[in-house]
Structure 1
């Protein structure tokens, strides 16, 4: 029996790669996208719901699927207001997990970040940590939280500081010892593939998945 998947954040780097993988995957008969703007040129198996994701509950009747992939994320440059930032990075994933629970969706996957910690004094890490904690509280049967390191890949928008960071990481990566391997750059391709593999592996037991584990799972294709 073919499945239906939901993607939140399909216009971002990881979400866009995941969308293409799901389009090409015969196990899925339909893909639902929830976003602020329409993506042109997609096949008929993709259904788009356009609206304010900060009011996700308005989509409750259509928020039905076998799996939810949450790739939502912003940056301090795009969203300098911390209140708005938290509404996006914390509010949308938690609301999506809540709808998944209410609508009996058995699988929920969300991209978090390395260093997520609800007790952190760093706003970004604290926000991600609080998001993880409250997503888990929703108790969706199969919940997977991915904590990638710095994400590599070709982005549509220009992020100068992030590009500089990627260059520096590439230079120093050969110096990393085993315990620091989790800090190596991870490609968005690996994250998307790992999410897909987790959703389709009945034996998956991981809940919080580090960068190294993401890479390992991605290879089990």
Structure 2
């Protein structure tokens, strides 16, 4: 195969792991990164498009490929301004989905969050649910929305509260059984592996995948 993959959010934890998996995967001859800053030391199969992702439409003519992997996401600490937060966590994925539909890209995968709920009183959860809804409204042939629990992995940036939360969740892991399995910490490695599995085992469906099911997909490989 000589597939082309598009990644948004390759500088983040999950996106970075996914990028390396795609580089190592012989099915992909081209990987397009759309980001605001360049990643150094990448092989020739990776093409980087640098610019403001809040104006993703500027990349319309280059936004061509077989699959879109949207790993974009910020935090309330990094982006306290709610308007900017929504432009990132809602605006970028929805703009990417619109471009994918316009350019006949048949597969779109996006990372959401376990608590996504359009009627939630929590701004973060509402924003994720609104993003999911409007991504699905594009009617892309194969759309996968992943709802991970707390994501584990080594980040370059210091996120103290998140690290504390992960430590607490690790202690509680043995108690998350049965229907509570979806609350277990999930490693970014597993999310990236599940995305790759979904992209290469398409079935013309729109699916929302809970955290424990993401883990099952990752373990199938």
- The TM-score, its normalising length taken from structure 2, stands at 0.98
Change in Cα spacing, 1:205 to 1:102, as seen in structure 2 (3 Å) is closer
Unaligned ranges ≥5, structure 2: none
* Deviates most, 170-179 or 69-78: 170-179
Q: Distance in 2 between matches of 1:143 and 1:78?
A: 28
Aligned length: 221
Q: How far does residue 202 in structure 1 lie from its aligned partner after superposition?
A: 3.2
- Contact conserved, 1:117 with 1:125, CA < 8 A, in 2? yes
Unpaired runs of 5+ residues, structure 1, are: none
Match of 1:119 in 2: 119
What do residues 95-126 of structure 1 show as CA deviations (whole Å, max 9, x unaligned)? 00000000000000000000101111100000
Deviations 1:53-107 (A, max 9, x none): 0000000000000000000000011100000000000000000000000000000
The aligned residue for residue 103 of structure 1 is: 103
Matches within 5 A, 1:34-73: 34-73=34-73
* CA distance in structure 2 between the partners assigned to 1:117 and 1:86 by the alignment: 15
Paired with 2:61 and 2:208, the residues of 1 have a C-alpha distance of: 29
Deviation at 1:203, TM superposition (A): 4.0
TM-score normalised according to structure 1 size: 0.98
Aligned to 1:207, what secondary structure does the other structure show? Answer: strand
Check conservation: 2:142, 2:206, Cα contact below 8 A: no
Equivalent-residue separation in structure 2 for 1:206 and 1:198 (angstroms): 11
* 2:164 counterpart SS class: helix
Coordinate RMSD, CA, aligned? 0.9
